[in-house]
Copies of this chain bind each other. A is one copy, B any other.
Amino acid sequence: MSDKPHDYCGIFGIFNSDDAAINTYYGLHALQHRGQESAGIVTSWYDPAKGFPTMPTHKDFGLVLNVFNDKSLFKNKLKGTAAIGHNRYSTAGSSTNPANIQPFRAHLKGGNLALAHNGNLTNARGIRQRFIQEGVLFQSTSDTEIILHLIARSQETDPVEQIMDALRQVTGAYCLVILTDTQLIAVRDPNGFRPLALGRKGDAYVVASETCAFDIMGADYIRDVRPGEILVIDRNTVATGEPQSRFLPPQPGTGSSGCIFEYVYFSRPDSRIFGESTDKVRRRIGQFLAKEHPITSFLRTKGGKQPVVISVPDSSNTAALGYAYENQALGHDCRFEIGLIRNHYVGRTFISPGQEMRDLRVRTKFNIVRGVLEGRPVVIVDDSIVRGTTSRHLVDMIRAANPTEIHFLASSPPVVEPCHYGMDFPSPGELIANRYDRDVVRIAEALGVDSLHYLSPHGLVAAVKDANAADFNYCTACFTGDYPVPVTTGVGKEENELS
């Protein structure tokens, strides 16, 4: 996909490791694609000098590599054998308030607690307003702080009971990693919107949004944290090899509903999420796309030069490969090629030119390989089309290489609705599909291509289920408007921020 929806967050936790903080650093680095605006690590450490348990913390705006650029942090500050970490994407405006950087940490009556969250609550607005009436002070605009207040105010005494108490009051999408003075607790909402996996490295237990965080440190995947599961890892777990589990009740009227966009775009291809390799699923999506829209179905000139199938690197590489090879398997002549080169040095600080060179931001990210495209039919496979701006510019660049025809395929349906479970799409009116009344011919025209083809919602789900045998359902709300959990959020999120 070229106009990315904003990633949400990556979370990581580790228990019983002599290198807890530095492994968290590596894990967060592997999860960097899930959030680039801030990063943080909290460890649990019994400080003998103080005589009580502490939670050393380091967090700041920036990429993981920049926030943690001082080796002495790990030696001198982030001590202890358990840690949690968080990568965050922050929406415009909130990014200037450092109070929003996670993990959050608090001292509760029972001891220290730190918490990191990936997702979005659907009843946050109501709880927040009620709390303000009661005189509760908020320091951030994050939903996460609501969970923290609920835990702090619970009448229960055991941390796990407090957490259950709190989570029974919230609805929506959330994966949590929580650190207490003696436990690492991982939680996934009853619908399982967001992925969360459990792994192990030697005697250490790890949890992470994606398994690529396990690979970087050589940890093994055990299983996913289950929808609604509150998984508690403590000294007893280390001794017995068995984490304890509690389960939250299902959100009324719904079953599982994993975010299918994770498979379409968000997750790294080398990760296993919802129990299955993203690469495998994404390739199957490409194959189903080939079945729905074989190359022969739209190619104008038959018998000309061999068509080339290209991806928009790197996000649609796998789907494009799946599409090309499936076409070949179906007997349709074509070849996968690298027709676009991605610049590795793209950053946020790019200075935009004036009106005359509006496509330059895209040109700083991508360039064409003219020899691959010239004089041939070109089939672009992208993972999704959101705003369409980048796609249009890419098509223009490709057109300049004089291909005989250009076709654009999306390995997902048109994005037409907002996500209320943590994904930050542009407003509905900015979505290209909506701007052209969801009329594929007009969208194709707007993109400047000879034809445009989307994978159908049914085809997408079928592909995912074909690749992933698990008994698990998916949320496709951004394509279909079919929201598994009702939403009561609204404006006014920023109205109580203590600073």
> A270 touching B369 by the CB < 8 A rule?
yes
Instruction: Check: A181 CB closer than 8 A to any chain B CB.
Output: no
Is A499 touching B105 in the complex (CB atoms < 8 A)?
yes
A98's nearest neighbour on chain B, judged by CB, is B98
Residues of B within 8 A of A132 (CB): 107-109
Main secondary structure of the interface of A (DSSP, over half): mixed
Count of interface residues, chain A, beta-carbon cutoff 8 Å: 90
Q: Is A372 at the interface (CB under 8 A from chain B)?
A: yes
Picked from B69, B269, B352, the residue with its CB within 8 Å of the CB of A338 is B269
> Which residues of chain A from 272 to 315 have any CB-CB distance to chain B below 8 Å in the complex?
277, 279-280, 313-314
Residues of B within 8 A of A30 (CB): 343, 364, 367
Residue of B nearest to A353 (CB): B22
CB-defined contacts of A473 to chain B, threshold 8 Å: none
Residues of B within 8 A of A59 (CB): 499
Contact: B32 with A343, CB < 8 Å? yes
Give residues 330-363 of A contacting B (CB, 8 Å). 335-338, 341-347, 349-353, 357, 360, 363
Considering the complex, give the chain B residue whose CB is closest to the CB of A42. Answer: B499
A148 within 8 A of B: yes
Contact flag A351-B270 (CB < 8 Å), given A138-B107, A152-B135, A371-B279: no
A-B contacts, 7 of them at CB < 8 A, read: A30-B364, A71-B352, A99-B99, A134-B153, A277-B369, A321-B336, A321-B338
Top 5 closest pairs, chain A to chain B, by CB: A135-B153, A107-B496, A135-B152, A69-B349, A32-B345
Given contacts A33-B344, A137-B152, 5 further A-B contacts (CB under 8 A): A30-B364, A32-B343, A65-B350, A270-B369, A313-B314
